[in-house]
Structure 1
Amino acid sequence: MTARVSVFERPATQRGTGGYGVTLRSIRKEFGSSVAVENLDLDVRPGEFLTLLGPSGCGKTTTLNMIAGFLTPDGGQILLDGQDVHQLPPDRRDTAMVFQQYALFPHLTVGQNVGYGLRMRKRPKEEIRQRVAEALERVGLAGHEDRLPSQLSGGQQQRVALARAIVVQPKVLLFDEPLSNLDLKLREQLRLEIRHLQRELGTTSIFVTHDQTEALVMSDRIAVMRAGRIDQLDTPEKIYREPANAFVAGFVGQSNLISGVCMEAGADRCTVQLPTSDFVYARHTGTVTKGDDVRVLLRPEALRLGGESAATSLTGQVVEVVNEGSIATVVVDIAQDIRLRVTVSDPAAMSLPVPGELTTVSIPPGAARALPTD
């Protein structure tokens, strides 16, 4: 008997590079007098999972829709695999979109929804049947072909939408906040499933979200957007550990940001005077010079409670304690309107302070980072 070959399978030498590179050059998009995207440059590598992260109105969904062909840029170039696609309609760009609202046809079965794109491409019926079955198996919905969308949960409907996108074997997968309508546990499960599937297929993927956790967990790289521009493009670790500015630091992860003045600066370190008149020794990226106003980033998990040895210790009053079992957050009100959040990783191993109690917050060496003001 001849072995059955999966229509999704590629030779091992091609796995992980099954997608197009995507290049944006000086992209601009206006809506009336409002500029949604301004002179945006971006290179997405073949097979990469890149996330556009930012607050509402930053231009991330507009950028995604221009790549898909649903919106036309007012300036600049969009290149897929090195070719300008400005004149190509969405169905000729070799991309597929997974939408926030699922966008399933309610009168069609699951199998018919998934196979819709293949029917539009006039593929043979047997090929459609095989590819639909395999796509549904990949998303954990084998055997659901004959159900209607109304008979499925929200998570199952989103899996159908994902299967519909991958069944056409696009070179670029586009995700427009596909998990935002799901509950927390289902989001956590599906984000890992989507990432696993993307790695397995090797399809270039661009994922839009305002959820920092999704971006950190799923991405090869993250582009943090603000006001139609990219503030920083880097790996999740560098975005978190080495934010380019105070906006990125405040948007990604929990953060304490304190204003200060750089008193002395070296190549990558500086001494910052805080409003409390205390001094903290902070790392920087080479953009801080003596006399500059800066924002000092202190991640809550890097701080310590109590009088342990540290370069800088700040004393204040505990205003709130939130114990979540595996971790606890202690909020300490320091003088001059400085309020610090401190994460305690093992609250059962220590006696937590109580609101109203005085405590010391220690800043260990290397924990502070000086960022230029926006």
Structure 2
Amino acid sequence: MTALSTDKRPATQARAGGYAVTLGGIRKQFGSSVAVENLDLDVRPGEFLTLLGPSGCGKTTTLNMIAGFLTPDSGQIMLDGQDVHQLPPDRRDTAMVFQQYALFPHLTVGRNVGYGLQMRKRTKAEIRKRVAEALERVGLAGHEDRLPSQLSGGQQQRVALARAIVVQPKVLLFDEPLSNLDLKLREQLRLEIKHLQRELGVTSIFVTHDQTEALVMSDRIAVMRAGRIDQLDTPETIYREPANAFVAGFVGQSNLIPGICTEAGADRCAVQLPTSNIVHALHPGTVTAGDSVRVLLRPEALRLGGESAATSIAGQVVEVVNEGNIATVVVEITGDVRLRVAVSDPAALSLPVPGDMISVSVPPGAARALPAED
């Protein structure tokens, strides 16, 4: 597997310095298991960068090495141009927001938030002032004297966020901080965190396996797999131009259909599907005639019924999931190959039912061909 990046920066700039965080050739192994392998990463000042990937891909291990909780077996970690390999966590000018809040249950909210300042020997007057400002920023003004047990889960996570920002770190680290919250609260807090990060201008690295969080919050996303970065780019580019089938399948809803490239140009190719249909697809520059490929068809790009200038694929409806504002129609086109088609306004359309024979249209530009093996 080759680590890929569509980041448009010249390679000379990527390693030339001026970054808030630079990882060079980082490797970490636990026993016989390699968690992170030869990982390079540059994080720009003030950027919100997300490490996205499935469980066990190395994203939290990477975050913990940046924080100083783990020591890499090899490689270099630079924070604001300084080699921090030998520095303990409390001297790295970073702050972490944890998944489990990690609040002291016997301390009040104010004392929890001010703990880092107390360890830094700040005066009581400064601690009171900065704690009040931090709590104001996270919407918890006036909660200084409450205990964590008197707060909701969302409020406790806001306390943890206030505790992190109160020390004014150069780099703010997030380890899946929203994963324990319910959906509505996650949606609310992800926007609040992003707004606060922009307001403070603090460089932030966010770890998650939730693709929606990554797409909504990030300036750039590093998609990780097996201890490496498969693709590093903006959310829009990662979604629209995934570098390989893994990224395409992990980020966003996708149909990945096997096919054979019958004709290839510099960035476009003709692909024969298992149904014998030919679709014209964009490709990332690594596909040649005769290659086995996976054709990416995003459900929202497909249409039910035939359309002029579109490739029409016949199939049988096997499932319809109507969620009110959107519906997903699953169409079996051959054998066990199925297409999911997203219908954005189900109320305006008479939806098919399971058993119906139907055509699925692939409009020009909707298909992307990716190497079958990566």
Relative to the length of structure 2, the TM-score reads 0.94
AA of the residue aligned to 2:149: S
1:98 lines up with 2:105 in the alignment = no
Measured after TM superposition, the shift of residue 20 of structure 1 is 6.4
> Residue 301 of structure 1 aligns with which residue?
300
> Residue 234 of structure 2 aligns with which residue?
235
Single out whichever of 319-328 and 193-202 deviates more from structure 2. Answer: 319-328
Secondary structure of 2:351's partner?
Answer: coil
CA distance in 2, matches of 1:184, 1:288: 40
> Residue 7 of structure 2 aligns with which residue?
none
Measured after TM superposition, the shift of residue 311 of structure 1 is 3.2
> Residue 254 of structure 1 aligns with which residue?
253
CA distance in 2, matches of 1:22, 1:293: 39
AA of the residue aligned to 2:61: T
> Residue 287 of structure 1 aligns with which residue?
286
Identical aligned residues as a percent: 89
Secondary structure of 1:50's partner?
Answer: strand
> Residue 4 of structure 1 aligns with which residue?
none
CA distance in 2, matches of 1:313, 1:337: 19
Tell me, which stretches of 5 or more residues in structure 1 are unaligned? 1-18
CA distance in 2, matches of 1:81, 1:296: 42
1:172 lines up with 2:182 in the alignment = no
CA distance in 1, matches of 2:288, 2:140: 57
AA of the residue aligned to 1:290: A
CA distance in 2, matches of 1:258, 1:20: 40
CA distance in 1, matches of 2:336, 2:357: 16
> Residue 311 of structure 1 aligns with which residue?
310
> Residue 189 of structure 1 aligns with which residue?
188
CA distance in 1, matches of 2:156, 2:83: 34
AA of the residue aligned to 1:349: A
Instruction: Report if aligned partners of 1:22, 1:79 keep a CA contact under 8 Å in 2.
Output: yes
Alignment of 1:319-358 (within 5 A): 319-358=318-357
1:194-226 CA-partner distances (Å, limit 9, x unpaired): 000000000000000000000000000000000
Measured after TM superposition, the shift of residue 82 of structure 1 is 1.1
> Residue 10 of structure 1 aligns with which residue?
none
CA distance in 2, matches of 1:344, 1:131: 50
> Residue 126 of structure 1 aligns with which residue?
125
> Residue 16 of structure 1 aligns with which residue?
none
> Residue 88 of structure 1 aligns with which residue?
87
CA distance in 1, matches of 2:334, 2:61: 43
Tell me, which stretches of 5 or more residues in structure 2 are unaligned? 1-17
1:268–1:20 CA distance, 2 compared to 1 (3 A)? closer
Instruction: Report if aligned partners of 1:318, 1:358 keep a CA contact under 8 Å in 2.
Output: yes
Single out whichever of 283-292 and 47-56 deviates more from structure 2. Answer: 283-292
AA of the residue aligned to 2:201: G
AA of the residue aligned to 2:242: P
1:87-127 CA-partner distances (Å, limit 9, x unpaired): 00000000000000000000000000000000000001000
> Residue 51 of structure 1 aligns with which residue?
50
1:141–1:20 CA distance, 2 compared to 1 (3 A)? farther
Instruction: Report if aligned partners of 2:19, 2:42 keep a CA contact under 8 Å in 1.
Output: no
Instruction: Report if aligned partners of 1:260, 1:296 keep a CA contact under 8 Å in 2.
Output: yes
CA distance in 2, matches of 1:310, 1:159: 52
Instruction: Report if aligned partners of 2:262, 2:270 keep a CA contact under 8 Å in 1.
Output: yes
Instruction: Report if aligned partners of 1:310, 1:362 keep a CA contact under 8 Å in 2.
Output: no
> Residue 269 of structure 1 aligns with which residue?
268
RMSD of aligned residue pairs (Cα, Å): 0.9
Measured after TM superposition, the shift of residue 336 of structure 1 is 2.5
> Residue 3 of structure 1 aligns with which residue?
none
Instruction: Report if aligned partners of 1:20, 1:171 keep a CA contact under 8 Å in 2.
Output: no
Measured after TM superposition, the shift of residue 62 of structure 1 is 0.1
1:244 lines up with 2:279 in the alignment = no
Single out whichever of 328-337 and 146-155 deviates more from structure 2. Answer: 328-337
CA distance in 1, matches of 2:42, 2:204: 12
Instruction: Report if aligned partners of 2:259, 2:272 keep a CA contact under 8 Å in 1.
Output: yes
Instruction: Report if aligned partners of 1:281, 1:311 keep a CA contact under 8 Å in 2.
Output: no
Secondary structure of 1:224's partner?
Answer: strand
Instruction: Report if aligned partners of 1:321, 1:331 keep a CA contact under 8 Å in 2.
Output: yes
CA distance in 2, matches of 1:318, 1:276: 16
> Residue 10 of structure 2 aligns with which residue?
none
Secondary structure of 1:296's partner?
Answer: strand
1:260-289 CA-partner distances (Å, limit 9, x unpaired): 111100111000011111111000111111
Runs of at least 4 residues of structure 1 off by over 3 A?
none
CA distance in 2, matches of 1:90, 1:233: 27
Aligned length: 356
> Residue 42 of structure 1 aligns with which residue?
41
CA distance in 1, matches of 2:342, 2:256: 15
1:142-174 CA-partner distances (Å, limit 9, x unpaired): 000000000000000000000000000000000
CA distance in 2, matches of 1:98, 1:335: 48
Measured after TM superposition, the shift of residue 325 of structure 1 is 1.1
Secondary structure of 1:137's partner?
Answer: helix
Relative to the length of structure 1, the TM-score reads 0.94
> Residue 68 of structure 2 aligns with which residue?
69
CA distance in 2, matches of 1:315, 1:261: 19
> Residue 27 of structure 2 aligns with which residue?
28
Secondary structure of 1:326's partner?
Answer: coil
1:140–1:20 CA distance, 2 compared to 1 (3 A)? farther
CA distance in 2, matches of 1:283, 1:87: 47
Measured after TM superposition, the shift of residue 310 of structure 1 is 3.8
CA distance in 2, matches of 1:285, 1:247: 14
Measured after TM superposition, the shift of residue 359 of structure 1 is 0.7
